[in-house]
Amino acid sequence: MGCSRPQCKRSYHLPCGVANKSLQQHFDEFKSFCFAHRPNQRPMTAAKANKAGTECLICQEDVVPAPHDRLYPPCCTSGWMHRPCVQRMANTFGGYSFACPVCKDTAGFKSEMQRLGVAVPTRDAQWEAGEEAFYDRGALERRLRCCAKICFCQEPSARAADRKDGLWEILPCVGCGSRGIHVKCGGLDEYVDPEWSCYTCRRIVRFTEADRARWERPIAAVWGTARAKKTPGAKVR
């Protein structure tokens, strides 16, 4: 691979370039720059340098004054960060949560870090992905109960019992999904793929069908004509 600077003719293997301070950008055109033409941050202003400390904003360890091994956030007057710390932070937070550790700026901080060779993966944060994420996810799921007037289930949990693919499976309402009923309690045990509508949704469906029948009548039969009120079957005089 070669340096992306048009005037530069250097070429190198990727491991050799990494060992000799080349820089790889992990976005857009995925450019690579040799050690002489790699992008750098502008020097800190005097006011910002006076406020910047010597501790890393992420790991709180001392930052060695090295030109390529330390970075500073462009969005606020804070301090320095180790490059490996920024990379570990990007791997942990992911592209959707990656932000400045001080002011929480996202767009400007992410753009500057990517320009300086930090790989920001396009994914959610580690604590929002995987099987171990959100340990209380089960508590957030709504548990349906059998809302039949008489529940025939003889298990200890009775109305809360939910046994998949059986007589005591709780079927959610196909309309609202907020209520359920056991297959046996709903008299649906003879159906292959049973569906059930709660009592509230049944009334809404009946009301809708009645309204549809009324709306499909001719407009003259409902509102009459300009001369007089017309009833079905009556003649207009």
CA dist 60 and 101 (Å) reads 12
Averaged pLDDT for residues 4-28: 91
Confidence (pLDDT) at 25: 92
Task: DSSP for the chain, please give it.
Answer: -B-SSTT---B--HHHHHHTT-EE--STT--EE-TTT---PPPPPHHHHHH--SBBTTT-PBPP--TTTEE--TTSS--BEEHHHHHHHHHHHHHHH---TTT---HHHHHHHHHTT----SS--GGGSSTTS-TTHHHHSPPP-B--SS----STTGGG---TTSTTPEEEBSSSSS-EEETTTTT-TT-SS--B--HHHHHHHHHHHHHHHHHTS-HHHHH--SSS---TTPPP-
Checking if the pLDDT of 37 tops 90, the result is yes
pLDDT, tens digit (0-9, with 9 covering 90-100), for 177-227: 888 999 999 888 888 888 888 888 887 766 556 666 665 665 555 555 555
Confidence (pLDDT) at 130: 63
Averaged pLDDT for residues 37-61: 83
Checking if the pLDDT of 74 tops 60, the result is yes
Residue pair 28/111 in contact (Cβ under 8 Å)? The answer is: no
Mean pLDDT (the chain, rounded): 81
Q: Across-strand partners of 11?
A: 2
Checking if the pLDDT of 31 tops 50, the result is yes
CA dist 110 and 106 (Å) reads 6
Checking if the pLDDT of 19 tops 60, the result is yes
Checking if the pLDDT of 167 tops 80, the result is yes
Question: How much of the chain exceeds pLDDT 70, in percent?
Answer: 80
Averaged pLDDT for residues 21-30: 91
Averaged pLDDT for residues 156-167: 85
Confidence (pLDDT) at 139: 45
Averaged pLDDT for residues 89-112: 90
Checking if the pLDDT of 86 tops 90, the result is yes
User: N- to C-terminal Cα distance for the chain?
Assistant: 94
Task: Report the 3 state secondary structure along 123-165.
Answer: CCCHHHCCCCCCCCHHHHCCCCCECCCCCCCCCCCHHHCCCCC
Checking if the pLDDT of 137 tops 60, the result is no
